[in-house]
Structure 1
Amino acid sequence: MSGSNSSSPGYGSDARTGEAATPEPLNFAVHSLPSPVLPRAQARHGRLKMLLVLLVCAAPVIASYVTYYLIRPQGGTNHGVLIQPQQPFPDLGALPLTDLQGASVAPAALKGQWLLVTVAGGACDALCERQLYLQRQLREALGKNRSRVDRVWLIDDKAAVRPELLPALQGALVLRAPREALAGWLQAAPGQSLAAHFHVVDPLGNYMMRFPAPSDASAIKHDLEKLLRASANWDPAGR
């Protein structure tokens, strides 16, 4: 069409020579894009969420260290003496337990609870009576946690239990075990008998602590409370 330029940009002829002009290369200029800038409040919120996620992930590790180093009873700082290494429940052959009617009881049946154990003959002398009374009082003093602790009296002879003791034994586990079998599992302090101590067995069936004689009720209660706090996350009440 006359008067119009139908050539594509960058092409055409030289007006003076009539020769075709050399095509001009196309240039693409790339400009830097603006960096996204988050509002301060949004950035702060994101960092806070990341910190919370990290804390949640690390919480079990932190809790285990706190429990082990600060809550778990350590020999020398508590009244009770830790048994090292802990002594697991022997099997029925090594620790033949029977109830007062003579029926066999498997030691494994006692697992699932903290056990506060005393040892004495069936005749139950003055020391035995004191230990049984204190054992009951200690459990009651634990308040809402008392359902996590069982009282156990292990009778190490064949003597009959005096009838007047039976009312005080309501709720306790009263079992017979040979003295030599108990001596192979429980440990007394040098120069003392098993009957002089309270013995503690954990819910997994490990004999792990004894309390020195004579018994100090307030110190024993303090140690039991620490044990129950330290195990609260894995030891539910009841068997």
Structure 2
Amino acid sequence: MTMAKSSLDSSLSPAATGPASSWPQGRKMLLGMLVFFALPLLVVAAMYGLDWHPNGRSHGTLVSPLKPLPPPAGIQDMRGAAVPANLWRDKWSMVYVTGPCREACEERLHLMRQIHVSMDKNMGRVQRILISSDTHLQAMQERYPDLIILHAPSSEVQAYAQHFQIAGDPSATHESPVTDNNTIYLVDPLANLMMYFPASLAPGDIRADIARLLNYAWAG
């Protein structure tokens, strides 16, 4: 009887009840992880919803409401591979959409590279993407090896470019479509088109807007 009582007492000892007693601590850890990963997205959502521009007004134009972007189906990269479904995920994307890539296109790509390089420690959070119907872009890929170049026939590029058509954008009309307006678009890490920078905007202003977003939004 004494041995049985001792065994029962042993089963109720703190060591035996360890897993149950550690549950509140595990729950706190889980809650902390959820907050850590969800808070950046909530901050970005609040910026959109409240039209909040940290440290003053933005120079580019915020897209409201946000425009979710689907993967560019039917468009390939320079190796002829299909574009991955997560193209717009996990990183901020500076995007330029054009037909043939001529002088104005080359100038914008150079500008995008200069802005990207100036991001310093945040460079890895941003990717640059060119969507073009031009099939002679091998030299451009060699010049900018970290530039993601996607190409397709003109009709498919024009069709996908409609996702970048923004109501109220005076630079993109039926007479001057997205592929001709020299606008740089910014896509957030949740695959939303959220801001655009017209050709008239100074490079320093574009950089300032992107730098603010990277500083205040942990996503991406």
TM range (shorter): 0.5 to 0.7
The aligned amino acid for 1:130 is E
Please say if residues 151 and 157 of structure 2, whose CA atoms lie closer than 8 Å, have aligned partners that are also in contact.
Answer: no
User: Structure 2 unaligned runs (5+)?
Assistant: 1-38
User: Structure 1 unaligned runs (5+)?
Assistant: 1-59
Q: 1:219 aligns with which of 205, 213, 218?
A: 205
Shift of 1:124: 1.5
- The answer for the alignment partner of 1:161 in structure 2 is 136
The aligned amino acid for 1:224 is I
Please say if residues 88 and 190 of structure 2, whose CA atoms lie closer than 8 Å, have aligned partners that are also in contact.
Answer: no
Instruction: Pick 1 or 2: higher relative contact order, CA cutoff 8 A, min separation 6.
Output: 2
Alpha-carbon distance between aligned partners in 2 of 1:181 and 1:77, rounded to the nearest angstrom: 33
Alignment pair present for 1:206 and 2:206: no
Please say if residues 197 and 212 of structure 1, whose CA atoms lie closer than 8 Å, have aligned partners that are also in contact.
Answer: yes
- The answer for the alignment partner of 2:148 in structure 1 is 173
TM-score (norm 2): 0.65
TM-score (norm 1): 0.61
- The answer for the alignment partner of 2:5 in structure 1 is none
Alpha-carbon distance between aligned partners in 2 of 1:80 and 1:107, rounded to the nearest angstrom: 27
The aligned amino acid for 1:160 is T
Instruction: Point out the structure with the larger helix share.
Output: 2
Alpha-carbon distance between aligned partners in 2 of 1:212 and 1:97, rounded to the nearest angstrom: 25
Aligned partner of residue 58 in structure 2, secondary structure: coil
CA 1:91 to 1:198, structure 2 compared with 1: closer, same or farther past 3 Å?
closer
Alpha-carbon distance between aligned partners in 2 of 1:83 and 1:201, rounded to the nearest angstrom: 10
Q: 1:120 aligns with which of 98, 102, 117?
A: 98
- The answer for the alignment partner of 1:15 in structure 2 is none
Larger Cα Rg: Structure 1 or Structure 2?
1
- Alignment root-mean-square deviation, CA: 2.9
Shift of 1:64: 5.1
Alpha-carbon distance between aligned partners in 1 of 2:189 and 2:203, rounded to the nearest angstrom: 22
- The answer for the alignment partner of 2:57 in structure 1 is 77
Identity of aligned residues (%): 30
Q: 2:161 aligns with which of 174, 177, 183?
A: 183
Alpha-carbon distance between aligned partners in 1 of 2:52 and 2:136, rounded to the nearest angstrom: 37
- The answer for the alignment partner of 2:112 in structure 1 is 135
